[in-house]
Amino acid sequence: AQSVTQLGSHVSVSEGALVLLRCNYSSSVPPYLFWYVQYPNQGLQLLLKYTTGATLVKGINGFEAEFKKSETSFHLTKPSAHMSDAAEYFCAVGLGYGQNFVFGPGTRLSVLP
Amino acid sequence: DTAVSQTPKYLVTQMGNDKSIKCEQNLGHDTMYWYKQDSKKFLKIMFSYNNKELIINETVPNRFSPKSPDKAHLNLHINSLELGDSAVYFCASSLRGPAGETQYFGPGTRLLVL
């Protein structure tokens, strides 16, 4: 069964600083990988996803992530944090049709002025 | 127009009661999901339906019963509510899936069992 770990339940950065949120997964087959963001009292919204092809994936709001198979990682980055980036970020793994879809435990990002 | 909508938004009820949460999507998607998010924000899939067929049925108490009258609707009925059922329940949909498909989430139903 697949699983997802996110290092750091809470990450704080200063406005304008680099954002790095870590995600590692375990899966017996090549997975589909996702990052979702959840703003307070809202549902989740997709930031970006990796299915096949280019391992560097660009998403909305200036975020990107790189799939590294050898490291079983899919870390999320943004060069310059903005106050509006403060939210909960979830990494997720999907396998094939009818297979489970697993979310990581989430990382809360705080952006300090 | 809201893509994925849930009703009610808030639900406060007593232990032992039976309640339902409704979900509708107007995206024309084939697949719908129910997730439970606990107080620590941990998000776990409960069920998934594709064209009214149950395709994911995770280990949840059988007090929880999903019903999909058509592919645009997926309702969740909960019998004999317990304190531990207090959580936020999210409905989501995807074109196909789950696999590599983007899921679109509703705003959530905040359930509090007293």
State the best of A6, A97, A109 to mutate against chain B, taking most chain B CBs within 10 Å. A97
Q: Is residue B71 within 8 Å of residue B51, measured between CB atoms?
A: yes
Distance CA B46, CA B42 (A): 13
Which pLDDT score, from 0 to 100, does residue A98 have? 61
CA distance A63 to chain B (A): 17
Q: Token pair of B74, please?
A: 């997926």
Contact across the interface for B107 and A42, Cβ inside 8 Å: yes
Helix ranges (DSSP H) in chain B: none
Query: Residues of A numbered 48-67 whose beta carbons fall under 8 angstroms of chain B's beta carbons: which are they?
Result: 49, 51
Tens-digit pLDDT profile for residues B42-80: 999 999 998 888 888 888 899 999 999 999 999 999 999
Pairing of strands A10-14, A56-58: unpaired
Tens-digit pLDDT profile for residues A11-33: 999 999 999 999 999 877 778 99
Distance CA A81, CA B59 (A): 39
Q: Is residue B12 within 8 Å of residue B110, measured between CB atoms?
A: no
